[in-house]
Every structure is written in structure tokens, then in C-alpha cells.
Structure 1
């Protein structure tokens, strides 16, 4: 019996190409376009592997992975992304991912990464592997190098939705919390990050790849 995969990517044409590649060896159970749909699909299908983009609307892949772990969904997660920055790879691995592949290397590396995941190994794209190993060797410097490490996964969710142009009320509806709680998170983030106002907070989100408006 073929191993099963769920694919998460908000670019339809890219997703179709990745699906065709994966379908050569695996049963692709579903293709979704954002992190919230990914969580729903993972609960429903219980795949062996999830192949996910990092930057997606409503909830990015890394924060979606945090939620999957919280909910004891134990699928292996391989990220496939345009982000060549080592800090994204570190975020992904710290969240529990077992693979990090760049999209322009997908044809050469994605199937290898999925095979490694199923075998209980971790695969990092060759372009970043040495940098990732060095970052982990340095240990405590990882968090300092990534400003987002100062925020909780819950704050990441709020900030991403605000950066995508959602109002506090819309964020509250999506996250099933009160508007007052959204405002509390917003001003707490401004304080923690030592910013002056909400505009700077949104700029911070975009510069650090938290909003899906960034290339992914």
C-alpha cells in the first residue's frame, strides 16, 4: 500500500506540479491552500507525510505545525518553500519539521526528503545544510538571530492576520477569541518588540516573512 501525503500550497499551479511529482510514488489525499485548511485535512485524513509551504494565508505553515503538534497529529512534515534564509529553516526544525526543501530544488530533493521523513531521518536542502548545522552548533544564538522568537505562536497567528489586512473583529472571528484579546495581543507585541505603533508592527511582520504577502 502506498504511503499517504497531504500537500499545502496557496499557489494553484505550483501545487499541481508538486502533486504530480509526489503522485509518482505516494497517494496524495488532499491539496489545501492555507494553514487552517491543512489542520482540518490532517485531522480528517491522518496522512503519513505533510508537504507544506511556509508562507500561506490565514495561518503560515510553521504555526500550523505548532498546532498539529499540540493536537497530537504525528504526520511527518516537510517544508517546501522559496525562503533560502537559514532562519526560516531553523524555525521549521524547531517547530518539529523533518525536512526543508527549496522549491527550485524540488525535482531533485523533494522525493528524497519525503523518503527520509518516512525513514525517521531529517533532510535539509544542500544549499542550507551547513548553515543550519552551524546555527545549531552555536546553540543559544539561534533565538537572538530571529526576532520572531520573542513572540508566542498565538501572537504569530494574530500578527499574520493583522498584516494580511484583517480588522481586529475579523481576526477575533477567525481565531474564535474576543476583539479585546486581539487588541491585547497587538499592544503586547508592540511592547515586547519595542516598537512605537501598530504600523511598525505590520512592517515588522512583513519584513520577517510572517505575512503571506511576502514571496513564498
Structure 2
């Protein structure tokens, strides 16, 4: 039913080559047909959409891919774009968004559902505003893989202060481990 809806939305500008039901079939179809554009869901059996996209990119398939998904998490959209997706559209706003996304992507651009982009940007600004300069310094060193003792030596702080900064940042960013802290910071563009 979703595939028929996508076909109807894009019918004027695109020719449907094939409908697949899982990630393995998606990778195979892209290899065989070499389409200009793929619209896929992140949730697919056998191989999810993100893994299928990564496999396609690893073997040099450059087909443009737009994710059409129910996942409203901005960090997932960022991860999809970093993995090589050209667009990220929410199913709840698929109509006009999908048509606009397809046109923009075919011109070499990137498209994210506007509401999701606004949500990401406002979340990023809020999160960044709540971190101090010292916390951001600690965060960048954590992102480089340094341990608390090494960070303390480098910044002239006590190990206890470094741990306190890490704990506070975890609270602000809503994570529960150092690994989650680093991943969240990467998603927010706080690490470079």
C-alpha cells in the first residue's frame, strides 16, 4: 500500500522499476537495475535500510536514496545522511515532501523533512547552550578517546572535576554512558 502511494506521488516524473520487500532484495535490485533514485524504509526485514545503504556505498553504488520512514528522531536522520542517504522524509508528511525531495535530490541536493530539520536545529542549539566552555573541552577530549586522568592532566583539572563534567554533560544530553555521550555529541556536531 505504501509502495503504491509512493508510485502515485512520483508517477509524473519517475518510472517505477521494481518494488522490493526487504533490504537484501533492495541491494540486489539496485545492483541489477542501477536506478537513478530509490525510496526505501529504514525498517525492512532481512537487512534494514541503513545496512542496505551502507552495503551499497561500500561496493561503490552511487544511487540516490531517500528514506521514507516513521522515525522522527533527528539523530537517526543525521546518521542516515552520514551513511550516504540523499533524503529523509517522514511518512506522516510524505505527499508534497516526497515530490520536493525527489526533485531536489535529482538535482544533486539533500532533503530533510522541514519539521524534522527545525526540531534538530532547535535541539542542537538547546543542548549546546547548556554546556560550558570547559565541558565542551572535556567532551572533545573524551571524543578523542582520552581517559579522565589524561584529560585532567591536559586541562589542569582534577580527575574528580573531569568526571563531574562528564556526568553533567550526560544529564544535559540525556545519555547514560561515555559511549552514548560521544555518539550524541557527534550527532549534534559538537565533535570535530
TM-score range, shorter-chain basis?
A: 0.5 to 0.7
Distance 2:124 2:46 in 1: 30
Select the structure that is richer in strand.
1
Segments of 4+ in structure 1 off by > 2 A? 130-142
Compare CA radii of gyration and give the structure with the larger one: 2
> C-alpha offsets along residues 175-216 of structure 1, whole Å, 9 cap, x if unaligned?
xxxxxxxxxxxxxxxxxxxxxxxxxxxxxxxxxxxxxxxxxx
> What is residue 170 of structure 1 aligned with on the other side?
none
Q: Per-residue displacement from partner, 1:79-100 (whole Å, max 9, x unpaired)?
A: 1001111122112111011100
Aligned to 2:22: 34
**Structure 2 unpaired stretches of 5+:** 129-139, 144-180, 187-192
Structure 1 vs Structure 2 CA RMSD: 2.5
Residue 108 of structure 2 corresponds to residue 68 of structure 1: no
**Are the structure 2 counterparts of residues 78 and 106 from structure 1 closer, same or farther at C-alpha, using a change threshold of 3 Å?**
same
Residue number in structure 2 paired with 1:46: 34
Cα distance, 1:142 vs. partner?
Answer: 6.8
Give distance in 2, aligned partners of 1:136 and 1:118.
28
Counterpart in the other structure of 1:114: 102
3-state SS of the aligned residue for 1:78? strand
Q: Which ranges of structure 1 fall in alignment gaps of 5 or more residues? A: 1-12, 147-216
Aligned length: 135
Normalising by structure 1, we get a TM-score of: 0.57
> What is the deviation of 1:130?
2.5
If asked which structure has higher relative contact order (CA below 8 Å, sep 6+), I would say 1
State the TM-score, normalized to the length of structure 2: 0.64
Q: Normalized per residue, which structure has more helix?
A: 2
**Equivalents in 1 of 2:93, 2:38: separation in Å?**
18
